[in-house]
Amino acid sequence: MGQRHREQREMETRERVAGETGSAAWPGLSDPAHDSQRLFRQILGAMSEPGTLETLAVPVPPSDALGAALWGVVLTLCDLETRVWIAADLDSPALRQALTFHTGARITDDPESADFALLTHESFDPQTSFALGSDTYPDRGTTLMVAVERLANVGPSMLSGPGIETTRALDIGDTAGCRALMDRLAANRASFPQGLDMIFGCGARLAAVPRSTRVTRADAKEVN
Amino acid sequence: MNGYNFAYLDEQTKRMIRRALLKAVAIPGYQVPFGGREMPMPYGWGTGGVQLTASILGADDILKVIDQGADDTTNAVSIRHFFQRVAGVETTTATTAADVIQTRHRIPETPLRAGQILVFQVPIPEPLRFIEPSEQETRLMHALEEYGVMHVKLYEDIARYGHIATTYAYPVKVDGRYVMDPSPIPKFDNPKLDGNPALMLFGAGREKRLYAIPPHTRVESLDFEDHPFEIQRWEHACALCGSDHSYLDEVITDDQGGRMFVCSDTDYCQSRRGEVA
Ligand SMILES: [Zn+2]
C-alpha cells in the first residue's frame, strides 16, 4: 500500500471515528479572542493566588471525565506550539480529534516532552516522568491539568507561600490519587525551582497550585 | 480597531505570552524567556510592558498608564491611546479605578488592592548583567543562588560613599530565592513590592524576558546588618498637596533658580488636593 493511499485511509478512518464518537460535540470557544482572554485572567488569578476557586463559563464537553473547566484551560492555552500528553483514562479518539481540531496541539506519548498533561486523580502516578524544567530553565516543565474528586477550601491540606496572605485550605478529594497529588505538590519544595505546577478541575470549577506553594497537612506533622 | 486583532497582538502570540506568564507566576522572580513580537513603537517605549498588557487586557478592563508617576507624559499618553485604539478599553488616571496599570519607573502611592495588576516596563531584566555580561553565566548564577557578587557591589558603595549609593533599580530577593531587578523604580518604592495584594508583572521587550511577583509575596531589598536598607527621605513636603510621605520630584519653577518639591505621582497629588483628575 502506497504512502498516499495509507494517509488517505487513515484520514477516512479518522473521519469515521469522529462521526461515531461525536467529536463535533466537543465545543470550541464561541468568541475566541474575548473568551480566551476572560478565561486566561481566571487561570492567571488561580495560579497567582493558589487554592482560590474559580468557576469558568465554558461550553460543557461531552465527556465529564475531563470537565468543562479543564477543557476551557486547554482551549485557552494550547496551540500548535504545544505538546499535550493524555492519560489512558481520559484518552479517546474523540478527545484527540477535538484537541487537534480546536487547538492544533501535538499529542505526545512521552510525558517528559509534554507542555501540558491531561489526567485524573485516578490516573495520577507519581512515577510518571513529567518535565520538571532544568536548573537554568525551570520554566520548561510540564503543567498538569488534573480532574479531581472535588474542590473546596477546607482542610486538612493547607497551602502557604506566594499568593497567599496567611494560609489557605484546599481539598481535592480523599482518594489515594488525590492524596498522592498533594504529596507530590508538597515535594516541590525540595526540588524548587524545578517542579510541577498543577491546575485542578472539577466540573466548571478550577484551582491551581504552583511549585512555589508550601503544602502541609493539619493531620500530619509535615508531608514530605 | 479596523485592521487589528483585539489588543493588537495575534492570538497565538498572546497564548505564548500567557503560558510564559503562568510559569513566571509559578516561579516568582525568575525571568521567563518569551518570543516577543515587534510592536509599533521603539524599544525605549516599553514594548515589553505593552506586550504583557496586550496579553492580559480585556474589553471590560479599565486601564491606567503612568510614566515616572505621571499620567500625562508623552510616553504614558501614547501607550494609553494605543490601547484605546486597539482594544477599545476605558482608561483612567485614578489608581483606585484601574484594573490594569502599566507603569514606567514608579509604583503608585495609593495602596493597590487585590485583583489589580501592575505591569512594569523593564529596560534590563537581569540584575546581575553589570557584573556578568554572559546570559549563560547569569542563568547559572541564579540556578546556584550565587548572589555574593551582588552584595560585593553594594558593599563597594558603602566603602566608597559610606552608604549604598544605588537609588533606583535596587535589587530585591523574591520569596527568599531569586534576586530580581524591580525595574528602575526608586528604591523608595521597594517596600511596596513586599506583600502587595496586587499581582505584579514585569516585561522586558528588547531582551524578551518576563517575570512576576504574585500577591502577598515576601520581597526583601538586599542589605547588610550594619547597613540596613533605607528609603529616600525629603526635608520638604510636597509644595502642592503638603504630603510628607510621598516620592518627590524637584521642579525648577523659574530661571532665577527657584525650585520646589512636588509629588511624582500626579494622581495621588491631585486627589489629595481634592481635584478631579
Ligand atoms: Zn503632592
- pLDDT tens for A80-128 read 999 999 999 999 999 999 999 999 999 999 999 999 999 999 999 999 9
For chain A, what is the domain count?
1
Ligand 1: distance of its center to the CA of B263 in Å? 4
Beta-carbon contacts of residue B188 (< 8 Å; ≥ 6 apart)? B231, B232, B247
Decide if B19 touches A, using CB distance below 8 A.
Answer: yes
- Beta-bridged to residue A67, according to DSSP, are none
B195 in Cβ contact with B218 (< 8 Å)? yes
Which parts of chain A fold into alpha helices (H)? 3-21, 32-48, 68-77, 93-103, 176-191
Question: Each residue of B199-217: pLDDT tens digit?
Answer: 999 999 999 999 999 999 9
Q: What's the CA gap between B215 and A209, in Å, rounded?
A: 14
Place of cell 502516578: A125
Residue B196, phi then psi, degrees to nearest 5? -65, 135
* pLDDT score recorded for residue B275: 62
Tell me whether B6 touches chain A (CB under 8 Å): yes
Residue A135 lies in a domain: yes
Chain B residues within an 8 Å CB radius of A32: 11
| pLDDT at residue B276, rounded to an integer | 47
Question: Does the beta-carbon distance from A212 to B57 stay under 8 Å?
Answer: no
Rounded to the nearest whole angstrom, what is the distance from the C-alpha of residue B269 to the centroid of ligand 1? Answer: 4
User: Which three cell numbers mark B259?
Assistant: 525650585
Q: How many CB atoms lie within 10 A of CB A4?
A: 8
- Residue of higher predicted confidence among A91 and B165: A91
Grid coordinates given for A222: 509535615
Could you give the CA distance from residue A107 to residue A74 in angstroms, rounded to a whole number? 12
Tell whether A76 is covered by a domain: yes
* B176 touches B10 (CB < 8 A): no
A57 has a chain B CB within 8 A of its CB = no
CATH number, domain containing residue A43: 3.40.50.11310
Q: Looking at the predicted structure, is the pLDDT value of residue A60 above 80?
A: yes
B162 φ/ψ sector (left φ>0, alpha ψ -120 to 50, else beta): left
Residue A6 in this model has a pLDDT that exceeds 70: no
Neighbours of B218 (CB within 10 A): 17
Check B18 against A76: CB less than 8 A apart.
yes
What is the nearest CA distance from A20 to chain B, expressed in angstroms?
31
CA of B241 to the centre of ligand 1 (A): 4
| Residue in B5, B30, B57 nearest the CB of A193 | B30
The H or E element that residue A147 is part of is strand A143-147
Read off the pLDDT of residues B84-95 as tens digits, 9 standing for 90 and up. Answer: 999 999 999 999
- How many CA atoms within 13 Å lie on the side-chain side of A79? 15
Q: Which residues of A, range 102-121, sit inside 8 Å of B by Cβ?
A: 115
φ/ψ region of A130 (left if φ > 0, alpha if ψ in -120 to 50, else beta) reads beta
Contact A99, A28 (CB under 8 A): no
Interface with chain B: mutation pick from A44, A159, A211, highest number of B CBs within 10 Å:
A44
Q: Report d(CA A219, CA A182) in Å as an integer.
A: 13
Neighbouring-strand partners of residue B47:
none
Provide the residue range defining the domain that includes A29: 25-217
Task: For residue A224, name the pLDDT band (cuts at 50, 70, 90).
Answer: very low
Centroid of ligand 1 to alpha carbon of B114 (angstroms): 25
Interface check for B128 against chain A (CB to CB < 8 A): the answer is no
Asked if residues B30 and A193 have their Cβ atoms less than 8 Å apart, the reply is yes
Q: Is residue A187 part of a domain?
A: yes
- What average pLDDT does chain B have? 94
Q: What is the pLDDT of residue B277?
A: 44
Residue A146 lies in a domain: yes
Distance CA A193, CA A190 (A): 9
Residue B192: Cβ within 10 Å count: 20
Amino acid B153: pLDDT: 87
Task: Collect all residues of chain A within an 8 Å Cβ-Cβ radius of residue B57.
Answer: 37
pTM score: 0.93
Query: Angle A32-48/A68-77 helices, nearest 10 degrees?
Result: 110
Which residues of B are catalytically annotated?
Answer: 29, 238, 241, 263, 269
> How much is the pLDDT for B36?
74
Residue A160 has a pLDDT of 98
A23 pLDDT exceeds 60?
no
Contact B28 A33 (CB under 8 A): no
ipTM: 0.96
- Rounded to the nearest angstrom, the distance between the alpha carbon of B240 and the centre of ligand 1 is 5
In a domain, A212, yes or no: yes
Q: Taking residues B94-106, what's their average pLDDT? A: 97
Cα torsion angle, B73, B76, B82, B88, sign: negative
Distance CA A221, CA B4 (A): 56
Q: Do residues B93 and B64 touch, judged by C-beta distance below 8 A?
A: yes
Interface contact B26-A135, CB threshold 8 A = no
Instruction: To the nearest 10°, report the CA torsion of A94, A97, A103, A104.
Output: 160
Residue B137, min C-alpha distance to chain A (Å): 10
Is A16 contained in some domain? no
Q: What is the largest CA-CA distance in chain A?
A: 65
Q: Is residue A19 assigned to a domain?
A: no
pLDDT tens per residue across span B21-79: 999 999 999 999 999 778 888 777 889 999 999 999 999 999 999 999 999 999 999 99
Cell of A136: 537554568
pLDDT band (50, 70, 90) for residue B257: confident
Which residue(s) pair with A141 in the sheet? Answer: A132
Q: Is residue A222 part of a domain?
A: no
| Cβ-defined contact of A44 to B57 (cutoff 8 Å) | no
Please answer yes or no on whether B16 and A139 come within 8 Å at the CB atom: no
User: Looking at beta carbons, which residues of chain B come within 8 Å of A137?
Assistant: 33, 139
CA-nearest residue to A80 within chain B is: B12
